[in-house]
Homo-oligomer: A and B are copies of this chain.
Amino acid sequence: MKWCRYHSAEGPRFAMVEDEEAFPVYGNPFGLYEFEGPPLLVSELRLLPPCEPRTFFCAGLNYHGHVARANAAGHVDVVSPQRPEVGYRANSALIGAGDAIVRPADYAHPMEAEGELVAVIGKPLRHATRDEAADAIFGWTVGNDVTARQWQRGDRTLWRSKNSDTFKPMGPFIVTDVDPLTSTTVVCVDGREKASFPTGDMIFDPLDYLREISRYITLSPGDVLWMGTDHTAEFAPGSTVAVTISGIGTLSNPVVEENLP
């Protein structure tokens, strides 16, 4: 199954997607829903992030290649994490597929795209085994962990380098029947491939993370876990950046510059 979420006249709504059509529901795919209203063309919808998490989890350094290349480049302080430790992102930064990524007016450097697999949680989860964690994953979507690297280096936290408005595109769809660890993640800028890596080449997989998180924290339906990236890709205003994970979809966003009044 495939789900999207979109702006309707009455507010955000979920819809089940089949081919080019979206079948709107009342309710949500994690709980109760019923179909209501005529099918719509997906191409005519303004998509929202396919869910809004209560808590927005994000793995940091989580790819073997990422660590190896950082070490080769002389960053000896970059070491593989020994445990799956997670961080948090801001819901306020989420945008949907097709929405514009806005470079802040006072940030003059290139931005960086980080193509990431996203696990979408469908059931409450606490003290989970790997099997229980697998059962609680409703589906998968695509995230772009947009980063202002200069700010990341200079600030005390990731507050604006990774969480400025529009810095967390997510979507377009949640796909339920797929094994994403056999997929390939590709990041393109203006149609040119800038990064490509096996989605599953992770240090800790999603079940490792969910087992560890749920030792201390209750996950809720609609929560998301972003799984980290291997290769980053620079981009600038005027371009379009697209993250594709095979079997899940392509998350494409134009990039503009902030215009202050």
Contact = CB atoms under 8 A, between A and B. Distances in A.
Report the copy number of this chain in the oligomer.
Answer: 2
A11 to B, nearest CB: 13
B85 A88 contact: no
B92 A90 contact: no
Interface residues of A, number: 35
Interface in A19-74: 52, 54-55, 60
Given A216-B165, A217-B164, A157 B87 contact: yes
Contact of A220 (B89, B92, B93, B215): B92
A219 B88 contact: no
A182 interface: no
21 contacts: A52-B54, A54-B91, A54-B92, A55-B92, A60-B157, A81-B156, A85-B156, A85-B159, A86-B157, A87-B157, A87-B159, A88-B90, A88-B159, A88-B163, A92-B219, A92-B220, A104-B215, A106-B215, A160-B216, A165-B217, A165-B218
